[in-house]
């Protein structure tokens, strides 16, 4: 039976450093310009790495996880901009499927479709989705986050009763900074919950290698001109803690 090895990724070190600190028997492996951290969490073998921002960086990193470290499943965690009107800062989106919103090879291929693959939307693994949903709900219930995140940071970002949302995540190599971008995306992909810059590229690579995956995103801003001012503080003090607690729950 093939050994279970879980790959855990984030785009930024601030999104993943807390998970690295959970590792027992930690070792560092430098490949290219990435450091891959191997070890165990609750006796489960894991590989943790941050990819840097963007689809190319993420695709290269997950390919290395698959081909060099033989991962059997992948968890990506980090932040995203909220698109759906019911999302609030501090909410969590678990992607049921992912699409590259900046992929357009028309008229040769339909808009959003990956050329020569015949797919535009990549679905997350059902079992991992269920595991992720259960794990996330546990940290959102009974005010658990108030025990692990300082109250001043929850107040700073107006996080009081965060919720879990499941749905479409759209990825592209652009940061959404105004309502025009947001409304344009909703016109063509109205089911979009949030936007980020890596998930759908990770999903495509996992699809090509038959690796089950889930993408977990904490909403850091509203993907418009009202975006969170102190993005790095949010990532370090909020998103990073979310990732630690979710990963601990998934890997019990």
Given 15, 73, 198, 245, the catalytic residue: 15
Output Rg (C-alpha) for the chain, integer angstroms: 17
Q: Which residues contact 86 (CB under 8 A, 6 or more apart)?
A: 165
Residue 36 near residue 5, CB atoms below 8 Å: no
- Does residue 222 carry a catalytic annotation? no
Burial class (CB in 10 A: 0-12, 13-18, 19+), 229: exposed
CA-wise closest residue to 119 among 130, 105, 132: 105
Whole-angstrom Cα distance, residue 46 to residue 21? 12
CB atoms within 10 A of CB 174: 12
- Does residue 141 carry a catalytic annotation? no
Q: Which two tokens stand for residue 106?
A: 């028309």
Given 14, 91, 198, 221, the catalytic residue: 221
> What angle is formed at CA 70 by the lines to CA 66 and CA 76, rounded to 5 degrees?
50
Residues marked as catalytic: 15, 221
């Amino acid at each position: 039976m093939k050994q279970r090895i879980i790959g855990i990724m984030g785009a930024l070190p601030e999104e993943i450093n807390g998970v690295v600190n959970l590792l027992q028997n930690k070792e560092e492996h430098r490949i290219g310009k990435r450091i891959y951290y191997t070890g165990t969490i609750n006796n489960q073998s894991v590989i943790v790495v941050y990819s840097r921002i963007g689809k190319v960086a993420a695709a290269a990193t997950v390919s290395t996880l698959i081909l060099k470290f033989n991962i059997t499943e992948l968890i990506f965690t980090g932040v995203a901009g909220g698109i759906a009107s019911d999302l609030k800062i501090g909410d969590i989106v678990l992607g049921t499927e992912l699409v590259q919103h900046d992929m357009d090879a028309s008229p040769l291929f339909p808009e959003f479709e990956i050329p020569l693959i015949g797919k535009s939307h990549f679905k997350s693994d059902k079992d991992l989705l269920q595991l992720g949903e259960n794990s996330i709900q546990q940290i959102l219930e009974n005010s658990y986050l108030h025990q692990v995140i300082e109250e001043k940071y929850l107040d700073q970002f107006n996080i009081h009763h965060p919720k879990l949302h499941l749905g479409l995540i759209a990825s592209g190599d652009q940061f959404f900074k105004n309502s025009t971008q947001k409304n344009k995306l909703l016109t063509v992909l109205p089911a979009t919950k949030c936007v980020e810059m890596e998930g759908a590229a990770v999903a495509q690579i996992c699809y090509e290698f038959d690796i089950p995956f889930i993408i977990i995103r904490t909403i850091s801003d509203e993907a418009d001109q009202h975006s969170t001012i102190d993005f790095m503080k949010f990532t370090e003090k909020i998103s990073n803690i979310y990732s630690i607690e979710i990963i601990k729950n998934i890997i019990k």
